[in-house]
Amino acid sequence: MTVELVLDVRNIVGESIIWSVSEQALYWVDIVGGAIHRLDPQSGGHTSWETPELPTSIGLRGRGGFIVGLRRRVVLWYPGGPFETFAVPEPDLPRNRLNEGVVAPDGAFWVGTMQDNIAADGSPQPITAHCGAIYRIAPDGAVTRLTGADFGITNTMVWTDDFGFITADTLRNALYRYDYDDGLQTLTNRQPFGPELRLGLPDGSTRDAAGKVYNARVAGGAAIALLGADGTPEASIAMPCSSPTSCTFGGADFRTLYVTSARFGMGDAELAKTPQEGGLWSIRMAGAGRPSFEFAG
């Protein structure tokens, strides 16, 4: 299995990568770099747009354009246009910020929060509290909190075929599975999703058509962990970067796994040895993935 560097983009924190079927292109954010990126893998055409606040996540919108998580608010956006505020999940918690955000099978945008670990100058600052939660942003903008406010860093959002929900707390090195009741809009029965992995820490994930979960392992994990539908570790894909952050399937046949990465907090000496940190990577897979869901608002 060959891992290729698709774009030596050197993102500070590349994240939230998605594949647009209509454009046959990738979109993702650089959180600390303050930009949204687009790449056409066939032509190599690369475009980026600055954001008014740190971007933390991005999702496709069914009527065109995107839903985007910024530092404190969720916005609607068309490339080149304004960032229009749609929802503010935690207006009363100014020390928190948004983190992972993914469009769910129900057409809503689910987004997690965490204590803000990025200083005003873009440098890391310590996390001193587990105070993040997961929210559902409905197509009409209504905000529902789905979990308690006890996450250190919210990460990973994938849904099983029976609408179970898999997520992660990066600080606790834990993946969880919840039962989701769509009618009541509640998450219950939190259980560990597989054993604790001693391979860095969990970041973003995707699922393939067979229900297997691919989890990016940051903080020196340098791998994508492949987990069975029940969370059983099956394999790991070694990456040429220390902190892979997010992954998605794309390409015309959905058999290419694209992976973002980060160089946040790395020193000059480390980056001199591995300057490709923060790059965009691809891996050809035997199995196919699934298209991203689209926001219904």
Confidence of residue 44 (pLDDT cuts 50, 70, 90): very high
Distances in Å between the alpha carbon of 235 and those of 35, 226, 227? 33, 5, 7
Express each pLDDT in 253-271 by its tens digit.
999 999 999 999 998 888 9
Cβ distance 167 to 135 under 8 Å?
no
Cβ distance 279 to 261 under 8 Å?
yes
pLDDT reported for residue 162: 85
Cβ distance 143 to 137 under 8 Å?
yes
pLDDT reported for residue 186: 85
Confidence of residue 1 (pLDDT cuts 50, 70, 90): confident
Read off the CATH number of the domain in which 77 is found.
2.120.10.30
Catalytic residue annotation? 203
Express each pLDDT in 155-206 by its tens digit.
999 999 888 999 999 999 999 999 998 776 889 999 999 999 999 999 999 9
Q: Given the structure tokens 């969880």, which residue do they identify?
A: 176
pTM: 0.97
Please count the CA atoms within 13 angstroms of the CA of 236 that sit on its side-chain side.
16
Express each pLDDT in 58-73 by its tens digit.
999 999 999 999 999 9
Counted domains in the chain: 1
Domain of 168, in residue numbers? 3-295
